[in-house]
Structures are given as structure tokens and as C-alpha cells.
Amino acid sequence: MESIPIVISGSGSMGRQVALAAAVDPGTTPLAFIDALSQEESCEGLPLYREAALALDTHMPEVVVDFSNAEWTPVIARAALERGIRLVIGTTGLPADFLEELQAEAKTREVGVVLAPNFAIGAILLMHFARQAAKFFDNAEIIELHHAGKVDAPSGTAKTTAEQMVQARGKPFERVEADFQTVPGTRGGEVDGVTLHSVRLPGLVAHQEVLFGGLGQTLSLRHDSTGRDSFMPGVLAAVKAVREEQGLVVGLEKLFGLS
């Protein structure tokens, strides 16, 4: 099997994990990092570039894997698509207008892009089960719990889970409001009747619980990523699968036949 050359955008915790995982997988070869904010010249034994164009033109990867920041992802995505390079994007908190642009550009250029708010296979299954349960309950709340360094809230996974639950049910959930909140915001955020709560604490990695309530019963679905390595099988599966795609695919569930 030929090995897929990849360049990694973002040299933070996730980017570094991708480099380590891709180095030991015979199907992938990590070539370099791009990180506009890094002061380093190398990372995990690979050269590190601050400029997207220079890195891509020097290494000509087949796939760029991006785990960076919502401000940077459009920059690297445009540079990759202009060159016909496929993308696997894990960065969360991306604005809706950029997603529209990404969809249009990937389609026009016939380049595969996989964007997934969560690469943990257990989390994909949690969303799958939540879509099934959504048809049978009128009330639902999501508690997502993440490490203290996470910049966006709610998590992309929590927002997507809520949206998919509503879509599966075909109408908004019924939200239970508090008559008054002695501490503002205590009832959390809302997506079409699904209440969202974001917990941020040192010591956590990425966790999500979906709670359904009905007459005389509740149903709880929970997934825990206990380490960042939990995302790597999904990332490497996406790097391999993106070669077969043209245009934008959102969510690993489509690649796994769960949608």
C-alpha cells in the first residue's frame, strides 16, 4: 500500500498527536507542520513552516490535516484547495460563511474535504444513538465537558449532536424553562429546544452526555475521550477515505455508513 504524504496544520496538542500517529501508520507519512504562531523551526522531528504556501509548495502533500484555530483554518484551506490538495479538518468553531465557501470551493475544484467536529469513533456512535433516541423523547439536554484550554463553547460536537437530534425528530424539542434564574445563564444555551451546558475544567479531555427525559424515565448516553490518542484512528481513517471523496463531507458518520 502506498503511503499518503501529509502536512499538518497546527502544532498544538492535536497536531502533534497526528504527527506521532501518522508516523507509525504505514499508510501515512507526515512531512511537515505549518503553524503561523509557532516560534519553533521543527516539531516532532519535522520541519515547521509559518507560511502555508511555502510549506505546501515545498512538500506537495496529498492531504493537509488541520487542527488549529478558526482564524487560521480558512487560510490553510484556501491555500490547499488552490493547489488541489485534499483536506481533513478537525478545527472547531468555524463560522457558517466559511463552511459555505468550503463546500462551494471543494465542489468546484472536485477536491475531497472531510470536516469532522469529532474524530473519536465512540463519539460518532453516541451521536448515532442520540439520533435514534431523539424520535422517542420530547425533552433533551446535553452536557459537554472539556479541558480548560478549549476556546469555543459549546463544543462543535455538542452543537452538531443537538442539530442532528432535532433533524432526526423533525421538530424542535420541548425545553423546560426555569420561572426565574437566581444566577443568570444557569439553564445553559439552547439549540431548537435542546439545552446545552458547557463544563471547562483542568483534568478533563473531551466528554459528552446526552440526557433524554420522558414520562417516568430518562435515558443517558455518555462518551469519554480519556486521551487525545482517542481521535487518531478516526483522523487516519479520514486521511485514507478523503481520497475517494469529491467535495465536502461533514462528519465521520458518512464515511462509516452511519448517517
Ligand X SMILES: NC(=O)c1ccc[n+]([C@@H]2O[C@H](COP(=O)([O-])OP(=O)(O)OC[C@H]3O[C@@H](n4cnc5c(N)ncnc54)[C@H](O)[C@@H]3O)[C@@H](O)[C@H]2O)c1
Residue 69 engages ligand X in binding (rule: CB under 6 A): yes
Does the active-site annotation cover 150?
A: yes
In sequence order, what E strands does the chain have? 4-9, 28-34, 42-43, 46-49, 63-66, 86-89, 112-115, 139-146, 189-191, 194-200, 206-214, 217-225, 247-250
List 72, 137, 173, 212, residue binding ligand X (CB under 6 A): 72
Candidate list 59, 146, 207, 223, residue with the active-site label: 146
Does the active-site annotation cover 171?
A: no
Q: Which stretch binds ligand X (CB under 6 A): 90-98, 162-170, 183-191, 243-251?
A: 90-98
Residue 49 engages ligand X in binding (rule: CB under 6 A): no
For the record, the C-alpha cell of 37 comes out as 504562531
Residue nearest to ligand X (CB): 12
Nearest to 227 by CA among 204, 258, 247: 204
Residue 37 engages ligand X in binding (rule: CB under 6 A): yes
Nearest to 144 by CA among 155, 128, 131, 129: 155
User: By C-beta, is 39 or 217 nearer to ligand X?
Assistant: 39
Residue 161 engages ligand X in binding (rule: CB under 6 A): no
- Please report how close the Cβ of residue 136 comes to ligand X at its closest, in angstroms: 28
CA torsion through residues 39, 236, 65, 86, sign: positive
Q: Which stretch binds ligand X (CB under 6 A): 54-62, 77-85, 114-122, 169-177?
A: 114-122
User: By C-beta, is 10 or 154 nearer to ligand X?
Assistant: 10
Give the residues across from 140 on adjacent strands.
212
- Please report how close the Cβ of residue 173 comes to ligand X at its closest, in angstroms: 25
Residue 91 engages ligand X in binding (rule: CB under 6 A): yes
Backbone conformation region of residue 141, classed left if phi is above 0, alpha if psi is from -120 to 50, else beta: beta
Whether the link from the prior residue into 154 is cis, omega within 30° of 0, is: yes
Quote the Cα angle for 63-69-74, to 5°. Answer: 60
Candidate list 128, 150, 240, 254, residue with the active-site label: 150
Residue 68 engages ligand X in binding (rule: CB under 6 A): yes
- Please report how close the Cβ of residue 51 comes to ligand X at its closest, in angstroms: 11
Which amino acid, one-letter code, is at 146?
H
- Interface residues toward ligand X, by CB under 6 A: 10-15, 35-38, 67-69, 71-72, 90-93, 116-119, 149-150, 231
